[in-house]
């Protein structure tokens, strides 16, 4: 994998402590990009920043921040600007997940998920998108999901927010493309990350049988697509097939699954 452009120097990655975000940061560091790393886990963030700086000889800036706060996007932009940094690659990757019906959802968790996936993600593109447009160069990578291809019970908040990100990325791509700025939507399937509760989801088994991809594979596919200026990438053949089949699944089949699903409550 080659660098996108010799003039591009700095990448910002949200959710950089684990999973896909950590792998995005690691692979960008391997390519020589300076990093702005964002997460709500200060100690782990500092550790990751130090390890990547030492391993790859790049500058790293750790910015601990809770992206579920309403002011997060503005405060992150101001923190980056106050350090005299110009972001050339924006990776909007931070995510939350919980399973369950809407009527049973914890309002606090629901609000946090929507804030991170919808509000903060969008506003980061507002603030940093202005800079990219003014400089007429750069990239934006927005992490959606194959769940954006079909609505399913039990993941209403997650799936709807990822569908929003898919649509938002498409619109933003059209807006910024004429200015020389690329936008790519990364839509992975199930990925072996800390997003899932290992006591509920057998992550290890799913990895061994190939149902879940490694985060490093997903990150690489995303960056390769980004540097090739592709609109959308679904890493992995299985995930691509699943997204295609999900888009063709009629509503009555989804309703039948819901009625018989042992993992959701019944009347």
Of 73-77, 82-86, 185-189, 193-197, the one with minimum mean pLDDT is 193-197
- Residue 192 · residue 207 · CB < 8 Å: yes
pTM (whole model) above 0.95? no
Residue scoring higher pLDDT (213 or 50):
50
Separation between Cα atoms, residue 156 and residue 117, nearest integer Å? 13
Instruction: Quote the Cα angle for 40-42-45, to 5°.
Output: 90
Taking the CA atoms of the chain, what radius of gyration do you get in angstroms? 18
- Confidence (pLDDT) at 190: 83
- Confidence (pLDDT) at 191: 81
Alpha-helix residue ranges (DSSP H) falling in the chain: 19-30, 42-56, 72-82, 107-114, 121-135, 156-177, 203-208, 215-227, 237-248, 251-260
- CATH entry, 10-260, from 1.10.10.10, 3.40.50.720, 3.30.930.10, 3.40.50.1970: 3.40.50.720
Separation between Cα atoms, residue 20 and residue 28, nearest integer Å? 12
Residue 62 parent element (H or E):
strand 60-64
Of 30-34, 166-170, 173-177, 199-203, the one with minimum mean pLDDT is 199-203
Q: What is the DSSP string of 216-238?
A: HHHHHHHHHHHHTT-SEE--SHH
Separation between Cα atoms, residue 64 and residue 52, nearest integer Å? 16
Domain boundaries, the chain: 10-260
Separation between Cα atoms, residue 58 and residue 54, nearest integer Å? 8
Bridge partners of residue 39, in order along the sequence: 64
């Amino acid at each position: 994998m080659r660098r996108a452009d010799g003039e591009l120097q700095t990448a910002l990655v949200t959710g950089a402590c684990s999973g896909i975000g950590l792998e995005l940061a690691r692979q960008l560091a391997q390519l020589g990009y300076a990093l702005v790393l964002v997460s709500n886990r200060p100690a782990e963030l500092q550790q990751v920043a130090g390890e990547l700086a030492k391993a790859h000889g790049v500058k790293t800036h750790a910015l601990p921040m809770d992206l579920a706060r309403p002011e997060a996007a503005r405060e992150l932009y101001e923190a980056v600007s106050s350090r005299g940094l110009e972001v050339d690659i924006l990776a909007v990757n931070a995510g939350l997940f919980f399973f369950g019906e809407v009527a049973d959802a914890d309002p606090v968790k629901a609000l946090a998920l929507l804030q991170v996936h919808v509000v903060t993600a969008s506003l980061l593109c507002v603030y940093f998108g202005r800079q990219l447009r003014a400089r007429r160069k750069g990239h934006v990578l927005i992490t959606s999901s194959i769940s954006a291809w079909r609505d399913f019970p039990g993941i209403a908040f997650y799936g709807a927010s990822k569908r929003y990100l898919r649509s938002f990325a498409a619109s933003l791509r059209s807006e910024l493309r004429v200015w020389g700025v690329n936008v790519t939507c990364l839509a992975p399937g199930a990925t072996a990350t800390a997003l899932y509760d290992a006591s509920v989801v057998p992550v290890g088994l799913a990895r061994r049988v190939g149902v879940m991809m490694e985060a490093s594979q997903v990150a690489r596919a995303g960056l390769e697509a980004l540097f090739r200026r592709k609109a959308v990438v679904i890493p992995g053949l299985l995930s691509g097939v699943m997204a295609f089949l999900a888009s063709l699944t009629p509503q009555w089949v989804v309703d039948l699954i819901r009625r018989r699903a042992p993992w959701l409550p019944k009347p």
